[in-house]
Amino acid sequence: MNKPALLGGTPVLAKRPDHFTWPRPVDAAYEGLKRTLHSGIWGTLGPENERFASKYAAYCHTKHCLPVLNGTISLELIFRALDIGWGDEVIVSPYTFSASVHSIVLAGAMPVFADTDPETFTLSPASVEEHITPRTRAILGVHLGGRPFDFDAIDAIARKHSLILIEDAAHAHGSEWRSRRCGSLGRAGSFSFQASKNLSCGEGGAITTNDTALYEKLWSMHHNGRAYTQQGYDHPILGTDARLAEWQCAVLSAQMERLDGDIERRMRSASLLDREIENLPFLSACKKDERITRNSLHLYPFRYHSDRLGGLSRKLFLKALNAENVCFADEGYCDPIYRMQMLYTEDFARLTGRIFRDPSGELPGNELLASSEGCWLQHTTLLGSDEDILRIVEAAARIGKYAEELQRAFAQEV
């Protein structure tokens, strides 16, 4: 067997393939941009905004979609519109990007971290229930990497305790739980169209909901607090400017063309990987769940067991894997969000009126993923052919075989 590239061997692929490049434009995007350029409407709430909002609402199986500036302000607007703030607690997954937490704090509420199920990388329902207090108002579930959280269990908990369930669907464009699309499962769903996302316009976001009153309030809030559908200088409620420009909406409508084909390709790649990974004792795929009828696979999360490879560190394993040019792999959210300095600032105390207590040591599932086992592949890796996917497995096997040598050669790095 050839040596790993990191030890001077020939990499499995001479260079990274073209399908790793992201975002990738569809031709129709040029049309949309040209249309906007000559429309005289370069701002917002014009025909491109309307076209995209109705197209994306239909795609998410919701009555309404509100395009906004990004997938962070979308969450903050949802909390504010639902009057979740000072004195309230929101239970949230700790295995997430900072925006899920920032938005809760900026609304004035206290984030409370339930544990992550290491077999799914999403919220553990049992832990959610354990973290409910008289102050809990909502649960923010994250569909990590496009994999829906256990909606049956978490929705049942929310109903039992009269809590509002909100979806952070930043990764989950087109994912489904029992054939119901993400973004339509909770009271509201929040999407991101930032450059790395499966559906992208550079920077952008959207809120989806079936609740018409909530949608109308959100519309007002994202349009400087003007009354629903109104323009001008009357501002009955507090709001901000979170409107998404026509350019981005035009690009999004066009880019939607490739969403379903890409999902199909990624799901095929993921099931091939799931199967092949079973032959590599030092890796495990996420638990299968038949209730997930579609997965956008923004990420392909998996676990690395260093103890089954003579202690070869996760960092070094991934470095060696990336050197083979077959994938983009990384350690994911390896610094737990509840240890980030932002939660221990004076600003935090001023905004929430409370001091944050570090839950380190109480969330073993999340600690396991963060500190040692959690890894993921970026979605572009899954857009290749079956052959491309098998090359990832070949590369991992090669590293497995040379684990001892790698450890010796890079002893000073780990």
Site of interaction with ligand PLP (CB under 6 A): 70-72, 96-97, 99-100, 142, 168, 170-171, 192, 194, 205
Cβ-based neighbours of 412, under 8 Å, separated by 6 or more: none
Q: Which of 222, 243, 294, 319 is catalytic?
A: 243
Q: Which of 102, 131, 197, 298 is catalytic?
A: 197
Question: CB nearest ligand PLP: which residue?
Answer: 71
If the CB atoms of residues 95 and 215 are measured against ligand PLP, the closer one turns out to be: 95
- Whether 333 is a known active-site residue: answer no
Least distance between ligand PLP and beta carbon 144 (Å)? 7
- Whether 354 is a known active-site residue: answer no
Q: Which of 59, 97, 151, 191 is catalytic?
A: 97
If the CB atoms of residues 72 and 175 are measured against ligand PLP, the closer one turns out to be: 72
- Whether 38 is a known active-site residue: answer no
Instruction: Give the span between the Cα atoms of 114 and 276, in whole angstroms.
Output: 32
Strands 205-209 and 292-294: unpaired
- Whether 168 is a known active-site residue: answer yes
- Whether 226 is a known active-site residue: answer yes
- Whether 197 is a known active-site residue: answer yes
Give 128-136's long-range contacts (Cβ < 8 A, gap of 24+).
Answer: 128/91, 128/154, 128/157, 129/157, 131/91, 132/91, 132/157, 132/161, 132/163, 133/89, 135/87, 135/88, 135/89, 135/110, 136/88, 136/89, 136/90, 136/91, 136/112, 136/161, 136/163
If the CB atoms of residues 74 and 253 are measured against ligand PLP, the closer one turns out to be: 74
If the CB atoms of residues 71 and 125 are measured against ligand PLP, the closer one turns out to be: 71
Q: Which of 149, 155, 194, 379 is catalytic?
A: 194
If the CB atoms of residues 299 and 318 are measured against ligand PLP, the closer one turns out to be: 299
- Whether 151 is a known active-site residue: answer no
- Whether 243 is a known active-site residue: answer yes
Instruction: Give the span between the Cα atoms of 377 and 310, in whole angstroms.
Output: 23
Q: Are 202 and 220 in contact (CB under 8 A)?
A: no
Nearest in space to 66 (alpha carbons), one of 230, 231, 215: 215
Least distance between ligand PLP and beta carbon 219 (Å)? 19
Q: Show which residues are catalytic.
A: 97, 168, 171, 194, 197, 226, 233, 243
